[in-house]
Structure formats: structure tokens, C-alpha cells
Amino acid sequence: MTSTVPFVSVVIPCRNEAPFIGACLDSVLASDYPSERLEILVVDGRSADGTGAIIRDYAARDARIKLLDNPKGITPAALNTAITVAQGSMILRMDAHALIDARYVSRSVEALQTYGADNVGGNMHTLPRQKSLLGWAIVSSLSHRFGVGNSHFRVHSTEPRWVDTVFGGCYRRDVFARVGLFNEALARGQDMEFNLRLKKAGGRTLLVPDIVSYYYARAEYGSFCRHNWGNGVWAILPFFNSPIMPVSWRHLVPLAFVVAVCAMAVLGSFLPVAWWGLVAILGAYGVLSLLASADVAVQRRDLRYLLVMPVMFTSLHVAYGLGSLWGVISGVIRSRFLRPAGSTRARTASTEGK
């Protein structure tokens, strides 16, 4: 009987997502999960592009869809708003830029029950918003191990594995009673920080390969660089707003790279031997970048990627690393000089992030 099937609440934070929200909702509505055991909570951060009207139109046609208001306009506030009113014993978080496979919900529920996990997710397939050489190069940089390290949901796993975090995630509801809600001081990075808090509390996150989602990445070079800068900043700011180490070590590698290059360049003015250190760092990076670019060119069967990918990998890592360096500087300034003790969380929560 369907009454024994767990009730699932799908939570979708969004803000100004008119080009994507319709396809996102269509993919959820096409789920093979019993329709009477599913609700879809779309939390809109007061969009100005017609997103709300699109959601209301969908809600008028399907009672499972409910539109919630998010006056704070940031993702963690949207998630917390939905969790407090969700009816489900399982909470599945989605992104408005994403599509899910028809079996995504059912496989997530099955995996939670089979493996005894607290949170499950799957392989995320990154797609370009524009199917151009640049668009696919951006996708390749975000899907290759040289670009994103051991981010298993991005580079894909072939078998179930316990991980630190997943894209989105389907949680047992009692997790939020044990660990708390999402940290509203983190306009970005709240998923990683929450999942690491969950891990510290003894919870487990599982990646299952056949739980499949599709994410549309940026396809413009400037937007790509700005987004990576922002990601870099928000790899560091959580350290000033969380009681745990809120990211994995891989998120700090671009910062180490940028700091090492800058340090060697500065030291070279005083110690000529430092120039050899700079040459060694850049040379090693260049070789690894070329090898990774050749791998992408072989996979894509297009030699143009040999020329494009070194630029994309470098742009990803340098923008991220410089963003992290700025995150360190701005975080220290804010915490020590601009804010009274205890005010960091409140002010950071007002920052718009995506």
C-alpha cells in the first residue's frame, strides 16, 4: 500500500530562475514516485523576473506544488523555511538549475532505507547552458579531477561510497532535529557545512551512482570567473561563521597555490633563489594542466580542447584561489575591526549568494 511509502518533501530554493524553474519542476513531476506521497515546496526569494508567476501557474495545475516566500533572499533561509513546514519524513533538496532522473526520488528513498544513511545523493552530470566550445570547456573543467579534485559527485563514482557531501541530498527528517538547520550566515557553502556537521555528529552521507541529476553550468567566461571567485570567497568565510571546519581540504588547494605563487614572486625580489621555486610551481602546474587538457581532448575527440582547457583550468583555480585570499582578508577585517563580537552571523546572512 502507498500509505507505507515514506512521504517525501522536495525543497527547491530559487531566485530569478525564470529560464530554468519550469524544466526543473517538470523533471520532478515526471518522477516515478507515488504522486500522493510527494510534495514540492518551491521557496522564492522574491524574484523580479517572473519566476513567481511561473511557479504559481504550475501550482494551479498541480496541488503538490506549493510556493513559499523567502524575504531574506538567500538559500539557507529558503531551506530552513521549507523544512519547518514540510510534511515529509524525508527531505530532498533540489537546485532550480537542475533536472533529476525519473527514478531520482525513489532511488534516494530506497538507498536511505537500504544502507541506513542519513543523507544520500548521486552523480551530477554538468551540462552547458550554451552548447558551444566555451560552454563544453567550462563543463569539462568542472567535471575533471584536475579541475575539482576528489569531488565525487562531480567526477562521478561507479559504486556506492560514503562521502563528505553530495549535490542536493535527500535527508531523513530527524537529521535536522539532531544537527540543527542550515547555517543562515552562509549565503553559499551551506550544504557542505551542514553535511560536515552531520558527519561530526555521527551521521553518514552516501553517494549512489544511479541517483542521477543534471546541472546547467554557466557558459560565459566572465560569469564563470566571477562565480569561481565567489565560490573561493565562500570557501573561507564559513570559517568565521561555523564551529567546525566547514569545508574539505580540497577547497583550500587553490588558495595554497595562489599564496605560493605570490609568495615566491615577492621573495624573488630579495632572494633570487625564490624565482626557481616560482618556476618549479608554475612548471609543475603547467605540465599537469596540459596532461588534463589532453585527457579532455581525447574524451571530446576534439584537439581544440588542448588549447582551450589550460585557460579554463587556470581561470578556475586562480579565480577561486584569489577569491579565497580575499575571503581571508575580508573575514579577518570584518571579525576584528568592523564588527562587534557576535554580529558576524547576523550581517553575513543578509548577503545575497547563489
C-alpha cell of 133? 566550445
Residue 195 counted as domain residue: no
pLDDT at 4: 85
End of a domain among 97, 115, 134? 97
pLDDT at 3: 64
Residue 47 counted as domain residue: yes
User: For the chain, what is the HEC assignment?
Assistant: CHHHCCCEEEEEEECCCCCCHHHHHHHHHCCCCCHHHEEEEEEECCCCCCHHHHHHHHHHHCCCEEEEECCCCCHHHHHHHHHHHCCCCEEEECCCCEEECCCHHHHHHHHHHHHCCCEEEEEEEEEECCCCHHHHHHHHHHHCHHHHCCCHHHHCCCCCEEECCCCCCEEECHHHHHHCCCCCCCCCCHHHHHHHHHHHCCCCEEEEEEEEEEEEECCCHHHHHHHHHHHHHHHHHHHHCCCCCCCCHHHHHHHHHHHHHHHHHHHCCCCCHHHHHHHHHHHHHHHHHHHHHHHHHHHHCCCCHHHHHHHHHHHHHHHHHHHHHHHHHHHHHHHHHHCCCCCHHHHHCCCCCC
Does pTM top 0.85 for this prediction?
yes
Kindly list the averaged pLDDT for each block of 10 residues, start to end, along the chain of length 354. 84 96 97 97 96 97 97 96 97 96 97 96 94 96 95 93 95 96 94 95 96 93 96 95 91 97 94 94 98 98 97 98 96 76 39 36
Measured distance CA(353)–CA(324) in Å, rounded: 15
Residue 199 counted as domain residue: no
End of a domain among 97, 124, 144? 97
End of a domain among 97, 113, 144? 97
Q: What is the CATH number of the domain that holds 83?
A: 3.90.550.10
> What phi-psi label fits residue 261: left (phi over 0), alpha (psi between -120 and 50 degrees) or beta?
alpha
Q: Which residues constitute the domain of residue 10?
A: 1-97
Residue 273 counted as domain residue: yes
Residue 18 counted as domain residue: yes
Domain count for the chain, please give it. Answer: 2
Residue 139 counted as domain residue: no
pLDDT at 327: 96
Q: Is residue 218 classed exposed, middle or buried when 0-12, 13-18 and 19+ CB atoms within 10 A define those classes? A: buried
Residue 188 counted as domain residue: no
pLDDT at 347: 36
What residues pair up with 123 in beta bridges, in sequence order?
Answer: 212
pLDDT at 348: 36
Residue 134 counted as domain residue: no
